Homo-oligomer: A and B are copies of this chain.
Amino acid sequence: MTDTEWLRLDRQICFSLHAASRAFNGVYRVILKDLGLTYPQYLVMLVLWEQGDLPVKALGEHLRLDSGTLSPLVKRLEGIGLVRRERSAQDERSVRVRLTEEGVALRERALEVPRRIMGATGFDLTEIAELRERLDRLTTALDAAALAEGR
């Protein structure tokens, strides 16, 4: 394989992944507009609906996001009335993110989202599972490599 071919291959891979990520984001953007949520905000709400109230720290561990991303995002969710932030009494450093009535209620309207997404992908459950398995394997390898490369 020539150098030129390697670069072409890299362009193809980069582009495919970049484009897929943005396309996914685009479909969620359209579908989530009804709920008034962005894609990352929806991710946070999914975790809260599933896990219940959590400190910002725990939320970050579930989503692999740091406070630099989460702090303003959670403030926006508070701004639209879906959550409240409450500083812990036991540990004054910690801030618990609590779903409001509206936040809990929004879950009902979110129930249709997964089915619409599945329809949009045109993939069946098996293909989704395979893709997910491959992506997770990729992520694990990449995270390890980023560490090894000395992030």
Contacts and interface: CB of A to CB of B under 8 A. Distances in A.
A22 B123 CA distance: 23
B121 A17 contact: no
The secondary structure that dominates the A interface is helix
Chain A interface size, under 10 / 10 to 19 / 20 to 34 / 35 or more: 35 or more
A15 B142 contact: no
A16 B132 contact: yes
A26 to B, nearest CB: 5
A10 B29 CA distance: 15
Nearest to A26: B146
Contacts of A35: none
Interface in A13-59: 13-24, 26-31, 39-40, 42-43, 46-47, 49-50
Quickly give the copy total for this chain: 2
Interface of A: 3, 6-24, 26-31, 39-40, 42-43, 46-47, 49-50, 63-64, 107, 110-111, 113-117, 119-123, 127-128, 131-132, 134-136, 138-139, 141-143, 145-146, 149-151
30 contacts: A3-B111, A6-B111, A6-B114, A6-B115, A7-B111, A8-B50, A10-B46, A13-B117, A14-B39, A14-B42, A16-B136, A16-B139, A17-B20, A18-B39, A18-B40, A18-B43, A20-B142, A23-B142, A23-B146, A24-B138, A24-B142, A26-B142, A26-B143, A27-B142, A27-B146, A27-B149, A30-B149, A127-B134, A131-B134, A134-B134
